């Protein structure tokens, strides 16, 4: 029991010494105003909240999220292939992919996927 207590004390002291050295040696002497200010979602919270926001960027981000969820729905289909009827699996997969392709072509035709005008 005494050996375990002494080992725990030694390990505690060693970790305390390492943390103290890291704190002392790792201090940065230059305080940068930009690095010390909060930064949230790419906007400076101390400036005006009425800054123009790129609607094109928002639209591309929403389209990316939609197709990301669709990919997450497609991935388990390969696992289900072995545990289901191959004909019904093929039919459901083709219908799902057709809906995805129709949505993609619609977005393409509307010009939502083009970044520059």
Instruction: Give me the pLDDT at residue 41, please.
Output: 63
The answer to whether residue 32 is domain-embedded is no
Q: Which domain covers residue 71, as residue numbers? A: 53-110
107 within 8 A of 63, measured Cβ to Cβ: yes
| Exposed / middle / buried, residue 67 (Cβ in 10 Å: 0-12, 13-18, 19+) | middle
pLDDT tens column, 17-72: 999 998 888 766 566 666 666 666 666 666 666 667 777 777 778 888 888 888 88
Reading the block at residue 84, the tokens are 């289901």
Reading the block at residue 97, the tokens are 């992919």
The answer to whether residue 86 is domain-embedded is yes
Instruction: Give me the pLDDT at residue 37, please.
Output: 65
2/47: higher pLDDT: 2
Q: Given a cut of 90, is residue 12 above it in pLDDT?
A: yes
Work out how many domains the chain is built from and give that number: 1
Chain centre to alpha carbon of residue 52: 24
- Residue 49's alpha-carbon distances to 11, 45, 66, 83, 114, in angstroms, are 51, 7, 28, 53, 28
Instruction: Give me the pLDDT at residue 9, please.
Output: 95
pLDDT tens column, 75-106: 888 888 888 888 988 998 899 889 988 988 88
């Amino acid at each position: 029991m005494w050996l375990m207590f002494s080992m725990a004390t030694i390990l505690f002291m060693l970790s305390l010494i390492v943390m103290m050295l890291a704190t002392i040696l790792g201090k940065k002497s230059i305080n940068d105003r930009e690095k010390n200010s909060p930064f949230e979602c790419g906007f400076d919270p101390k400036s005006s909240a009425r800054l123009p926001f790129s609607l094109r960027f928002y639209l591309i981000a929403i389209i990316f999220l939609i197709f990301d969820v669709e990919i997450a729905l497609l991935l388990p289909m390969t696992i289900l292939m072995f545990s289901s009827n191959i004909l019904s699996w093929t039919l459901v997969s083709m219908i799902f992919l057709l809906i995805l392709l129709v949505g993609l072509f619609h977005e393409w035709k509307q010009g939502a996927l083009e970044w520059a005008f």
